[in-house]
Amino acid sequence: MSIVAARRIVTGMTHRSELPPAHLVTELVGLLDDTGELDDPADLELLAGTLLLPISIPEVPDAARRVVIDAIEARADPIASAVLAALALFAPSPLAPYAHEAAVRLVGRGVTHPSVADIGTLSVESAVAGADEETEMIVAVLARPGSRERQVLVVGIDMASDALIECMLTPPLPRREAKRLLRNPTNDPSSPPLAPLATAELAARVTATAGRARDLGIALGSDAAPVLPIIARALTGTADAVAWPETLAPWEEDDEELSIFDGGLDPAELIERLSGEFEEHIRERWPPDSSVRRHAGAVGDEMLRWRAATGDGHLGRWEVEDLATFVVEHVSWSRALGDDARAAAPDCALAMIRFLADRGSLSGDTLPELEHACEMLRAHAVASRPRGGATSRRRAKRQAQRSARKQSRRR
């Protein structure tokens, strides 16, 4: 789901006087269309957590939440069955029993998913903790019965306030990689030593510091939002046992300096200034005879102008779909770029994304996802020369999006 779509759905869902418009429900439940054939319970749990975000906001009326559950049930396919089973475990009451009833009805019609029995079965296998003067770090390996893979929970606690400031859950990892993270999560030789932490102590520590953060008004990053009920169930046995702090919405993490609507600069002046910074960044890092050095200025300027014209006002917010649309569709038709610049566009776009990340201005999809998308777009550009019809361009966009999402699940 794009950030723009998420914001639109959240806004539409919070009108108490009416049920959510049908197109918003369709758009939200349409997330299930983009999943393909998910079979990993971790992916299914994350999908359910993502669906919960807009409908678990306190301002959303119960009737609106039930409409979404009804729409998922109406799909009557295995993914719907799995998502309803996950929502029955992770959703707050009274939505959880409503989702459970819907899941039971689908099972009665013979609609189920082979991974349903594995959903909600994560538990703590081992944990360690360590602290310096500023931050306490807790790392826990979570296991699922019968699975060789592990997920790793990383918790950061501010020592001064004794409040939770970070909480993240990795996708499934090989057991060896998870154990490596348990021993050395930061690769920093100066990091404090880690000592074993009992499961009961882990649950108590997370619960207490989460409550402290909530009391102090400390918000976690947007990436934490869909996994918090998954973590709570793994630590305590129930999804609602931890009073988590608020989480930021994705658009709240944007670099406001790069907002063409909220900033004080004229959009053209902002683009010109950022383009100048980008060109200086390129001159410092790329040799004069490289294609990126020769064409990054033109491609970067075109990239920012395209983003200003087609985005939602934030030049630093990029998602995989945005990159694919710019490189595959816009670059092909842009009169501002010559053939050599078009050929270099995937590499120049990658340089721009890394530049934005270096200056702390990148939001939207993660840097690894965007990097992988650029690699896929470069491979397509090489393979499809000199032709490139509309069908080929659409195929390239889909391949880049699917590949980047798959790569993200592996990380």
CB distance 244 to 210 below 8 Å? yes
The CA-atom distances, in angstroms, between 290 and each of 60, 123, 185, 323 are 53, 51, 37, 22
Q: By residue range, what is the domain housing residue 68?
A: 3-118
Q: Which ranges of 228-366 does DSSP label H, i.e. alpha helix? A: 228-236, 267-285, 291-310, 320-324, 331-333, 339-358
Dihedral angle computed from the Cα positions of residues 180, 182, 188 and 193, in that order, rounded to the nearest 10 degrees: -130
Assess whether 402 and 262 both reside in one domain.
yes
- The CA–CA distances, whole Å, from 380 to 327, 345, 346, 407 equal 11, 12, 10, 17
- Token pair 């990097």: residue: 371
Contact 164, 157 (CB under 8 A): yes
Structure tokens at 365: 């999809």
CA distances from 396 to 11, 387, 388, 399 (A): 32, 13, 10, 5
Indicate if 132 and 114 belong to the same structural domain.
no
Residues 260 and 239 in one domain: no
pLDDT for res 117 = 95
Query: Do residue 296 and residue 397 come from a single domain?
Result: yes
Is there a contact between 35 and 53 (Cβ–Cβ < 8 Å)?
A: no
Q: Per-10-residue mean pLDDT for the chain, 411 residues long?
A: 47 52 70 76 92 80 86 92 96 93 96 95 96 91 95 94 93 91 76 89 97 94 88 95 85 57 69 91 92 95 90 80 90 90 94 89 83 85 53 47 45 43
Cβ within 8 Å of residue 3, ≥6 positions away: 250, 251, 312, 317, 319, 363, 364
Do 387 and 303 lie in one domain? The reply is: yes
The predicted pLDDT at position 60 comes to 78
Is residue 233 domain-shared with residue 270, that is, in the same domain? Answer: no
Q: Helix, strand, coil: what percent of the chain each, to 5? A: 60, 10, 30
Q: Does one domain contain both 55 and 189?
A: no
What's the pLDDT at 28? 72
Domain end position, chosen among 60, 89, 118: 118
Task: Please give the pLDDT value at position 80.
Answer: 93
pTM over 0.95: no
Based on the fold, state whether residues 287 and 309 are members of the same structural domain. Answer: yes
- Residues 210, 292: one domain? no
What is the number of helices (H) and of strands (E) in the chain? 16, 8
Q: Cα 43 from chain centroid?
A: 12
Q: Where are the alpha helices (DSSP H) in 153-237?
A: 175-183, 199-216, 228-236
Are 197 and 130 in contact, with CB atoms under 8 Å apart? no
Q: Are residues 403 and 275 in the same domain?
A: yes
Residue pair 78/110 in contact (Cβ under 8 Å)? The answer is: no
Of 68, 83, 118, the residue that ends a domain is 118
Boundary (domain end) residue, out of 235, 250, 265:
250
Structure tokens belonging to residue 125: 């296998």
Co-location of 286 and 390 in the same domain: yes
Residues 133 and 191 in one domain: yes
* Domain count of the fold of the chain: 3
